[in-house]
Chains A and B, each alone.
Chain A
């Protein structure tokens, strides 16, 4: 039994990618859950808001790169990120002003709001494709690896390599920083507290003099920023393609619902849960088993629960499980 090599393989192919992907999902799900908590609808445009923010960041990155400005070992996109966030915030505030506010005033059913968000999604999607095109875009630069598989093998003398890409480390660090900042904001500042109060009980919050428009504005601001950060991190890690971002909607919603819609802590837990489930179920464990059994399995045997093509089935399966067993989610979200 070659435990060490098995462990390194698992770390390299399952745990590190899952933590990275989980951080990206968690950031996305936080945006969805905040919108849900305050504005009380599932925002179908969130995936495309992420695409919009990433597009703005990519365009800024290109401008910076053309001007010869960079961050050395860090990706230039970090420098462009604030511009991307600003652009996205302007975009979501504009959609709120032009579209959502009217329906809020009408106090329509949540499902109508979802329908409206579908329209916003359509427009955002068309806009992004119009500006940057539907194709693949890579915009990561700087150092590719913190340490590569070869370096690790040389250092440790193990048969298996372990690589840590700089975008993976960056994702996790940045995601944790953003989450800490968000929780500090929600729990410690006056605006954050008023947001939580508004989310818990709208009428009571209004009675105590909290301005609803201000709360809504701050929510969009945060959601726009979170969407951009999540989108840029995902794009740095896996490349940007508008359609992929639309498809991220499903795992993101699954994360938010599994954790409990409207509950930020739940969104984070849900994000990591979905990512880990997806990775462990779609990974081919053959290599790990080879090390554990110290003999090669016959060729053609795949120890894989589901092929990678069905990764959406994992999100969907967990979603269904939670809806059947505990519709409020693990962390008791708002309502059923």
Chain B
């Protein structure tokens, strides 16, 4: 970042606003906003790689963050031995048969001469594969889900340290992105958008319905934490003495410390990513990406494989989103597939990137922090505004009650307007690309 006054003022304004929240609302709220803001900033960073560096339009951010969240469960939860014994083999076999079927079908389609025979062979392979898959998969899944369904009913994870799940989440998201990118990149730019929309819906559907994997809509809670819980901190002598010297209750101080530890972890990740992205953006690779974005034909004429480079950056950006998704689940210490909603997890991130400044990493970070702050704070503000705007209808008006009830949706409207206004009047965002 060029150390210009404007950017420093913008970041300072954000932290000032956060300090105001801490002072007038509550310090814990401020910390919660900061933590989620940092995660949003990382997501925005990932999307900025795709959109800002390469002009790729990803509408499936929700899916990539969700699959990152799944990694946390699969890596860090302790395994469920009974369930593993009951069905791990059958599930794995079923999945492998499924994959082999698809692979065989593709080979068949490529190798055989077009005609009726090929079609018949294709159907035969698909049906046989499907039957074999069902034969092993269904009983295994039922067996797993029958194991202590109130608490478990899934395979559990590997019981490894939770921090390890962050890079794994990134790898998961990268895999999903590779699949989508391979199919839809190189075609019209809108196709990628539609394909990502599809994959994200499917990923969330899998998370919701495959209970053997991560308990589906029954949620996994109590995920291991990388830092001490407030409850543990409360017992520590130094925390008690710190609280005394500050003159604040121990519960509040310990909660703040626990959240502060998360904020520290997130800051390290964000800092590392930011440093890497800045390095990448200013390297020959970054210049090539921008050249491709600005003029594909010229870049192609220079011998650049545009589709391949697009696939690179798309996978990379999605991996960052997956990482952020894993971090978010770790922060919440639960995976709750029902909460993955595209408006919140895909389109809000887009608002962050556009408002912050697409093509500029610092802009994306600022956008993430700022928009998350507004997202949290606009709701009470919207309620208040609606209250003032409808006061003339009278206290007992039905219309007023109805509008007040729906006032929470004001923030969708506000965010959409912010997106449109920025696109129109300040398309380069708060911190423009240099």
| Smallest CB separation, A51 vs chain B (Å) | 12
The 8 closest A-B pairs by CB, nearest first: A122-B416, A126-B412, A126-B413, A123-B416, A316-B198, A129-B409, A42-B190, A119-B420
Number of A residues with CB within 8 Å of any CB on chain B: 50
A-chain residues with CB within 8 Å of residue B424 when the two chains form the complex: 99, 102
Number of B residues with CB within 8 Å of any CB on chain A: 47
* A126-B342 in contact given A110-B189, A119-B419, A316-B198 (Cβ < 8 Å): no
B-chain residues with CB within 8 Å of residue A114 when the two chains form the complex: 57, 189-190, 193
CB atoms of B201 and A247 under 8 A apart? yes
B-chain residues with CB within 8 Å of residue A324 when the two chains form the complex: 183
Q: How far is the CA of A118 from the CA of B412 in the complex (A)?
A: 12
CB atoms of A134 and B198 under 8 A apart? no
Q: Which of B169-177, B202-210, B282-290, B366-374 contacts A (4 or more CB under 8 A)?
A: B202-210
Task: Please tell me if A73 contacts chain B, counting CB pairs below 8 Å.
Answer: no
Query: Which B residues contact A (CB, under 8 angstroms)?
Result: 55, 57, 59, 130, 183-184, 187-191, 193-195, 197-199, 201-202, 205-206, 208-209, 342-343, 347, 350-351, 354, 402-403, 405-407, 409-417, 419-420, 423-424
Task: Please tell me if A249 contacts chain B, counting CB pairs below 8 Å.
Answer: yes
> Which partner residue on chain A sits nearest B190 by CB separation?
A42
- Residue-wise interface mask of A (242-265) relative to B, using a CB-CB cutoff of 8 A (1 in contact, 0 not): 000011011001100100000000
B-chain residues with CB within 8 Å of residue A316 when the two chains form the complex: 195, 198-199, 201-202
Q: How far is the CA of A42 from the CA of B59 in the complex (A)?
A: 13
A-chain residues with CB within 8 Å of residue B209 when the two chains form the complex: 307, 309-310
CB atoms of B188 and A336 under 8 A apart? yes
Residues from 268 to 304 in A contacting B, C-beta threshold 8 Å: none
Task: Please tell me if A315 contacts chain B, counting CB pairs below 8 Å.
Answer: yes
CB atoms of B406 and A253 under 8 A apart? no
B-chain residues with CB within 8 Å of residue A254 when the two chains form the complex: 194, 198
Residues from 92 to 116 in A contacting B, C-beta threshold 8 Å: 99, 102, 109-112, 114-116
**Contact for A323 among B187, B343, B417, CB less than 8 A:** B187
A-chain residues with CB within 8 Å of residue B420 when the two chains form the complex: 99, 116, 119-120, 123
Offer 10 A-B interface pairs, CB within 8 angstroms, sorted by A: A42-B194, A111-B57, A111-B193, A114-B189, A119-B416, A122-B412, A122-B415, A126-B410, A131-B406, A307-B209
**Contact for B208 among A250, A309, A319, CB less than 8 A:** A309
Q: How far is the CA of A335 from the CA of B405 in the complex (A)?
A: 46
Q: How far is the CA of A315 from the CA of B205 in the complex (A)?
A: 14
CB atoms of A250 and B197 under 8 A apart? yes
A-chain residues with CB within 8 Å of residue B191 when the two chains form the complex: 257, 323, 327
CB atoms of A133 and B405 under 8 A apart? yes
Q: How far is the CA of A126 from the CA of B209 in the complex (A)?
A: 28
* A123-B417 in contact given A309-B209, A336-B187 (Cβ < 8 Å): yes
B-chain residues with CB within 8 Å of residue A126 when the two chains form the complex: 409-416
Most interface-central of B188, B201, B402, B423 (chain A CB within 10 A)? B188
Q: How far is the CA of A102 from the CA of B59 in the complex (A)?
A: 23
**Contact for B412 among A110, A111, A125, CB less than 8 A:** A125
B-chain residues with CB within 8 Å of residue A122 when the two chains form the complex: 343, 347, 351, 412-413, 415-416, 419
| Smallest CB separation, A100 vs chain B (Å) | 11
**Contact for B189 among A111, A119, A249, CB less than 8 A:** A111
